């Protein structure tokens, strides 16, 4: 049997932030890929993390959307380690093995700070017309370049004029799926720079992976941090703050830290909202609903 939890990441209270499924396997082997996809589809969240203990403070995580496996998921990792802390892990550094690399995660008092994969700019998109048509801003010419940035996953970074324009986007999910597929990206990460104490307000769309919109994305905001550093908007070292999920009614704040050498960590808290057990084939056996704060 598998224990599953529903955990809201990048928030300190239930029903905020970005929900993720977390399946704790202890030291048991991972189920088949087909089973993990079925479990993710059954839980219906953008990502579900499957977690194996490797001994000591080492863990192996795999991440599944309802449609496919992805290399890394920031909010599901924050959810996982906040949950592990609540269930007795204790403060300290942990080793997290993922398909994006072997990462370090620091846990202190329920606050999780995860090292991201080595960031990079993958490509500049010279012809961005299709990108902006896909979100209802046909003809818009941004001040900043449209680029694909990577911090564990590849995401397209696209600036919009202001927060009002960001919140009133009209995303065409089929067009976004075509654009992200064409540019070998997981999501379209749209942002508006602000002067309200946060670095930017953002929205993230990943329909080709069965995720129309995310309310908080650690990997994409880490990639945005790298992008803003590379184009000179942010100087290292820096602490950045990104507001996300407003259009979904689930406002989140994702905090990143950019070191002088360009490495990036993403931090936040999480709240457990439900727990239960599943049979290995994904059939629900029992379910207990509860709310806890980290």
Whether residue 57 is predicted with pLDDT greater than 70 in this model: the reply is yes
Average pLDDT, the chain: 91
- Closest C-alpha to 115, from 98, 103, 102, 97: 103
Q: Supply the pLDDT for residue 282.
A: 46
Q: Supply the pLDDT for residue 189.
A: 98
Pick 288 or 131 by higher pLDDT. Answer: 131
Whether residue 291 is predicted with pLDDT greater than 80 in this model: the reply is no
Residue 174 falls in the annotated catalytic set: no
Cβ of 173: how many Cβ atoms within 10 Å? Answer: 15
Which listed residue (47, 111, 213, 214) is catalytic?
47
Full set of structural domains in the chain with CATH: 2-116+270-289 (3.10.310.10), 120-262 (3.10.310.10)
pTM of the model: 0.82
Return all residues near 256 (Cβ < 8 A) that are at least 6 apart: 221, 222, 225, 239, 240, 241, 242, 264, 265, 266, 267
Q: Supply the pLDDT for residue 251.
A: 86
Q: Supply the pLDDT for residue 195.
A: 87
What pLDDT band is residue 12 in, cutting at 50, 70 and 90?
confident
- Closest C-alpha to 282, from 19, 20, 6, 32: 32
Q: What is the mean pLDDT of residues 238-262?
A: 93
Q: What is the mean pLDDT of residues 178-186?
A: 96
- Closest C-alpha to 26, from 8, 44, 50, 10: 50
The SS3 call for residue 201 is strand
């Amino acid at each position: 049997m598998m224990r599953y939890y529903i955990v809201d990441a990048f928030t300190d209270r239930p029903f905020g932030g970005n929900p993720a499924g977390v399946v704790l396997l202890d030291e048991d082997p991972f189920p088949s890929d087909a089973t993990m996809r079925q479990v993710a589809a059954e839980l219906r969240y953008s990502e579900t993390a499957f977690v194996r203990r490797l001994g000591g403070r080492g863990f192996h995580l795999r991440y599944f959307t309802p449609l496919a496996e992805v290399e890394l998921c920031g909010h599901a990792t924050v959810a996982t380690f906040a949950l592990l802390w609540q269930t007795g892990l204790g403060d300290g550094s942990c080793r997290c093995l993922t398909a994006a690399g072997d990462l370090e995660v620091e846990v202190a008092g329920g606050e999780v700070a995860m090292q991201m994969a080595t960031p990079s700019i993958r490509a500049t998109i010279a012809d961005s017309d299709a990108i902006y048509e896909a979100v209802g801003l046909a003809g818009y010419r941004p001040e900043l370049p449209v680029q694909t940035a990577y911090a564990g996953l590849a995401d397209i970074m696209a600036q919009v004029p202001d927060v009002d324009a960001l919140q009133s986007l009209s995303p065409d999910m089929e067009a976004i799926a075509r654009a992200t597929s064409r540019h070998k990206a997981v999501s379209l990460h749209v942002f508006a720079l602000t002067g309200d104490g946060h670095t930017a307000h953002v929205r993230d769309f990943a329909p080709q992976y069965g995720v129309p919109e995310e309310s908080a994305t650690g990997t994409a905001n880490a990639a945005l941090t790298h992008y803003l550093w590379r184009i000179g908007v942010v100087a290292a070292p820096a602490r950045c703050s990104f507001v996300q999920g407003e259009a979904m009614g689930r406002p989140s704040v994702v905090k990143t830290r950019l070191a002088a050498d360009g490495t990036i960590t993403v931090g936040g808290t999480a709240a457990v909202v439900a727990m239960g057990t599943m049979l290995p084939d994904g059939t629900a056996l029992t379910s207990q609903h509860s709310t806890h704060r980290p």
